[in-house]
Chain A
Amino acid sequence: DTEVTQTPKHLVMGMTNKKSLKCEQHMGHRAMYWYKQKAKKPPELMFVYSYEKLSINESVPSRFSPECPNSSLLNLHLHALQPEDSALYLCASSRLGLVPSNEQFFGPGTRLTVL
């Protein structure tokens, strides 16, 4: 298995809802990432987990809460989001934790719309 999978593909939620995004990889990678991508913009790093521990939080608002239950799974819990949080949320993984030549492999993303 050489891919990163993400569910759901699309998600529409209200500002009072609580939802979760899920990411899974079975490549034995020990680093996993959440990115946010707005239309016609590059991906913006949100969180990095290395060996199941949160290594980087790019000053993301607390309404986004990441979780790494094990080395294969990464969740992003969403609560009280704003319409401006609507974006494509990308998960990525890499073989080694946080080293320079670290190839990151991206999933297809979850298209999130906040009403």
Chain B
Amino acid sequence: GENVEQHPSTLSVQEGDSAVIKCTYSDSASNYFPWYKQELGKGPQLIIDIRSNVGEKKDQRIAVTLNKTAKHFSLHITETQPEDSAVYFCAASTPGRGSNYKLTFGKGTLLTVNP
């Protein structure tokens, strides 16, 4: 099955700095890659996603890049703010049994933005 590796497991930055979280996946059939933000005591919130026919996508301070050849995708947050502090999960959508697809998550990155 699919395996998604996520690094780093923890990341601490100063307010205003940039943060980068990297993920790799193993199954070349994966073709959709969402990123979720999970704050303490809440469910994961979809913040940005990218499809395999796109190399980069940006939404205000957040951007995601995808390198299909290397099976690698990254989340970039610029001008970080304390409210960006949370656990971030990458995921890959992979085919399962029959025509079913499911998300495989990375292990998460705890981002702390220090004021």
Which chain A residues have a beta carbon within 8 Å of chain B's beta carbons?
4, 40-43, 45, 48, 50, 55-56, 90, 92, 98-109
Tell me which residues across on chain A come within 8 A of B42, comparing CB atoms.
Answer: 108-109
Chain B interface size, as a band, is 20 to 34
- Could you show 20 A-B contacts with beta carbons less than 8 Å apart? A41-B107, A42-B106, A43-B44, A45-B102, A55-B100, A56-B97, A90-B43, A98-B101, A100-B101, A101-B49, A101-B93, A102-B93, A103-B34, A103-B49, A104-B34, A104-B46, A104-B103, A105-B46, A106-B44, A109-B43
* Complexed CA–CA distance, A101 and B103 (Å): 10
Which chain B residues have a beta carbon within 8 Å of chain A's beta carbons?
31-32, 34, 36, 41-46, 49, 51, 89, 93, 95-97, 99-103, 105-108
| A100-B31 contact in complex given A42-B108, A43-B44, C-beta closer than 8 Å | yes
**Closest chain A CB from B52 CB (angstroms):** 8
Tell me which residues across on chain B come within 8 A of A55, comparing CB atoms.
Answer: 100
Binding site secondary structure of chain A: loop
* Complexed CA–CA distance, A109 and B45 (Å): 12
* Complexed CA–CA distance, A105 and B43 (Å): 9
* Complexed CA–CA distance, A76 and B45 (Å): 22
Tell me which residues across on chain B come within 8 A of A101, comparing CB atoms.
Answer: 31-32, 49, 51, 93
Contact pick for B105, options A40, A43, A98, A108, CB 8 Å: A43
* Complexed CA–CA distance, A102 and B46 (Å): 11
Question: Nearest 10 pairs between A and B by C-beta?
Answer: A42-B105, A106-B43, A101-B32, A100-B32, A98-B100, A108-B43, A106-B44, A100-B31, A100-B93, A109-B43
